[in-house]
Structure 1
Amino acid sequence: MDVTEDAVRDICTDAVFERGERYREEGRIHGIHRIDTTVTAVVSGSRQYDVRVDLATNGFAPWCDCPYDGPGACKHVVAVLLRCVDDPPADEGDRLDATLDGADADQLRAFLRDELATNTDLRDRFLARVGEPTSQSVDEHRTAIDRRFEETNPEYPVVFEPINFTQWFDLASEYREQERDASAATVYRALVESLDDNMERVDGAYDHFSRAFSRALDGYVDCVMTAERDADAITDAVAFLDERATSGTPLLAEHFEKAAVELREKLGEQSDE
């Protein structure tokens, strides 16, 4: 995708574009790097924010760890993209490849193992990339997600700011790319359950949590349809959705009902085959 001002304007509001433009002009972008089409940077605001964009993806697949919850991309993402319009960072992919090619295999393995031993997010994505099915249950993933809600505002049972669920969505995407849809469904279901059970704690950034819930529920249904070929497995998924529609957050009941209908139609199609 061409990185132009018009393309950047398409992914944000006019107000955010102006703020991002001002951030770029004020020199708030630090440590910007590019590997192939992926650009990462640090942008200083009320604190330092990590930004990632993909220049080859429609819409640039923006990611930032700031609490912005408005429509479109945030000002930090916009600032980085505008920097890419004016002064694109050099691609360091060839240098990285050359370093990897020249690295000692034992040293590389030792380094990777040390990193995987201490970084659970990286370890999960690595195992997903090399074709390992998830060893974690829905409850185990859910415990980690629930902890995010508890850590966000430990003094009160209320969540005011967005929570970053990227590590779980990235993990599910990694499983899907490896065609391990059952493992991806496990991650998505954990997100669905946690978001459903914690939604009544949310008192701010509601759109953020609603979008995360819809994305997780859609991912779960898609993976169940793709991964589960036997009628009993789909029936179990429908039972889960029906139960959540009656016992979960009332505002989300309609979403669960629609998802259950979609899976029932899939079940009917299989019965006709």
Structure 2
Amino acid sequence: MDVTEGGVRDVCTDAVFERGETYLAENRIREIHRVDTAVTAVVSGSRQYDVRVDLAADGFDPWCDCPYDGPGACKHVVAVLLRCVDEVPPDEGDRLDAALDAANPDALRGFLRDALAIDAALRERFFARFGESSTRSVDELRSAVDRRFEETNPEYYVVFEPIDFTEWFDLATEYRERGRDASAAAVYRALVESLDDNMDRVDGAYDHFSQAFARALDGYVDCAAAADRETERATDAVAFLEERAESGTPYLADQFERAATELQEELAEESDG
């Protein structure tokens, strides 16, 4: 888990590294916390930016909600990593474990239930981990993603900064890890639809949105093939991709066509096998 200057240089450009050094020297890191190997921080720039890194992951698995869409990590991430080079934040994991161990089970259950009652995203992940299937339809999931576009820059139609889609990708991962491919496919499809329909609003961070779209589309193909190979929904999934290739964002048409072909081939291979 050792963080070295060389390791930080490997995940960013030289120019960004220098900006990160400046941000650290200017004391722009307002908060920094660590639980196990996960570090979260708030870094001050033109506004307050949330940063997450995993000190044990290859390349630190960095995330920041700033508009940077250049190569490698942004200056906010670099500042946080350089702070960890100087001094890794104390681990709050033991404190968290101790509090959980000491908590009264009924009180803990009540606390969790109250939190789940008011946080729909957390509640959906809870159902994904401990329930049977998704509690929300594609349309409901899609509406939640659409709201993120609307809330990101409410004064204007255009979206200038990246949007964090982590909660939906994490939700899909929860379903996939438990073999609930149909539920995961619904999450990926909601992301694909929303990104496709809102792509004309994007006027910055193009790489961020393009990468999110490609990731969601690939996930949809994988999960649709795994979940629907023996049902009529397989045909519906292919038809959805082909229809989007015709009616969706023009420069995404090739990706939809590729996905439709890939899904058809996967379904054919399963049928032949």
TM, length-normalised to structure 2: 0.94
Match of 1:35? 35
**How far apart are residue 21 of structure 1 and its match?**
1.4
Aligned AA (2:168): W
Structure 2 unaligned segments of length 5 or more: list them. Answer: none
258-267 or 142-151, which moves further after superposition? Answer: 142-151
Which residues of 2 match residues 244-255 of structure 1 at below 5 A?
244-255=244-255
Which residues of 2 match residues 1-273 of structure 1 at below 5 A?
2-230=2-230, 232-273=232-273
Query: Alpha carbon RMSD of aligned pairs, Å?
Result: 1.7
- Of all paired residues, the percent bearing the same amino acid is 75
CA distance in 1, matches of 2:182, 2:9: 38
Q: CA 1:154/1:29 → structure 2, altered by over 3 Å: closer, same or farther?
A: closer
Q: Secondary structure at the match of 1:59?
A: helix
**How far apart are residue 238 of structure 1 and its match?**
0.9
Check conservation: 2:142, 2:190, Cα contact below 8 A: yes
Q: CA 1:159/1:187 → structure 2, altered by over 3 Å: closer, same or farther?
A: same
Q: Secondary structure at the match of 2:229?
A: coil
Q: For each residue in 1:111-155, what CA deviation from the matched residue of structure 2 results, as whole angstroms up to 9, or x when unmatched?
A: 111111112222122221224411111100111111222233334
Check conservation: 1:17, 1:78, Cα contact below 8 A: yes
CA distance in 2, matches of 1:183, 1:125: 12
CA distance in 2, matches of 1:202, 1:35: 34
CA distance in 2, matches of 1:268, 1:192: 23
53-62 or 66-75, which moves further after superposition? Answer: 66-75
Check conservation: 2:225, 2:267, Cα contact below 8 A: no
Check conservation: 1:36, 1:91, Cα contact below 8 A: yes
Q: CA 1:153/1:38 → structure 2, altered by over 3 Å: closer, same or farther?
A: closer
Moved over 6 A (4+): none
Structure 1 unaligned segments of length 5 or more: list them. Answer: none
Q: Secondary structure at the match of 1:49?
A: strand
Q: Secondary structure at the match of 2:58?
A: coil
Q: For each residue in 1:214-266, what CA deviation from the matched residue of structure 2 results, as whole angstroms up to 9, or x when unmatched?
A: 11101111212233331533222111111111111110000001111111111
Question: Would you say how many aligned residue pairs link Structure 1 and Structure 2?
Answer: 273
Check conservation: 1:146, 1:194, Cα contact below 8 A: yes
TM, length-normalised to structure 1: 0.94
Q: CA 1:116/1:92 → structure 2, altered by over 3 Å: closer, same or farther?
A: same
Aligned AA (2:259): A
